[in-house]
Amino acid sequence: MARGGSPTRVGLVVHPTRDVEDELAALRRWAGEQGGEIVQVDDQEREFAERGDVEDTDLVVTLGGDGTMLSGIRVAGRANRPVLGAACGSLGALTTVTADELPAALDRVAAGEWTARKLPTLTVEYEDAERTAVNDLVVVRQGAGQVSVSVRVDDQLFTRFAGDGFVIGTPLGSSAYTLAAGGPLLAPGALGMVFTPLAPHGGFIPPLVSGPEGRLEVEIDPGHGGARLELDGQIGDLLPPLEPAAVAVTLAPGRGTLVSLGEDEPMLAGLRRRRILIDSPRILARDDREAAEPV
């Protein structure tokens, strides 16, 4: 979609269970006033509009939360379409506006008052196919027993370990499962992938940050219980017990495109707002004492 051109065909990705009828009605009214059209571009069973191809749209709009936004980015990435996320609930890390702000935001997009915010994504090679993840790739044990893993970084052996599995995250994903698993948080502007082991059994296996052009190759022995592969929290392929598997992961710097209206919340501020980052109790107690003191 060229800047300054009104999106005449909008692709929709909607939360699979949340009630968004009011938001859909507002979006349909906006499209009608603009002489536009709305089509559903995801493949979920729930139908909320006529189905269409993302390649034939000018813009993708998501209604839901960050999980819906991740789905929308993956769908839109196939055709390099920008994504405008409307939060139906609390504002997350990816959604651009709240649901009631959506018509005004679309007016600004139609007027060309927006910029493209590029997101790096993971390109995951597995079984002669490529998959995309915005946050992370996870391989985790499916049943009892441990998964054995061998990791190479740019053809150099990094580590071998047995444990619950591993997470490979983007810079954005470093604030999600990677952070919860004890991995590092990449500050805004940092570019690379983060490899984090999950509950390694012994040894010394620190999280690893690769370079932006790095390549991670992971050989996996799923053990007796098997394992599963997840992309952005969605369960994908199952790795059968005792059958070796391998994945190769690289970073695609600009595969995802978000609509920015110039009012994006800084990443660290968003993490603090949502209490993912919390100051230590000693500091918070000091703040409380100072606030209670008479001026």
Helices 21-34 and 102-110: crossing angle in degrees, nearest 10, is 30
Amino acid identity, position 277 = L
Contact assessment for residue 114 and residue 261, using Cβ atoms and an 8 Å cutoff: yes
66 is catalytic: yes
DSSP 8-state code for residue 175: G
- What tokens were used for 89? 């609930």
Q: Which of 42, 66, 136, 232 is catalytic?
A: 66
Q: What is the largest CA-CA distance in the chain?
A: 69
Query: What one-character-per-residue DSSP string does 111-174 give?
Result: TT--EEEEEEEEEEEETTEEEEESSEEEEEE-SSS-EEEEEEETTEEEEEEEESEEEEE-TTGG
Question: Where in the sequence numbering do the catalytic residues fall?
Answer: 66
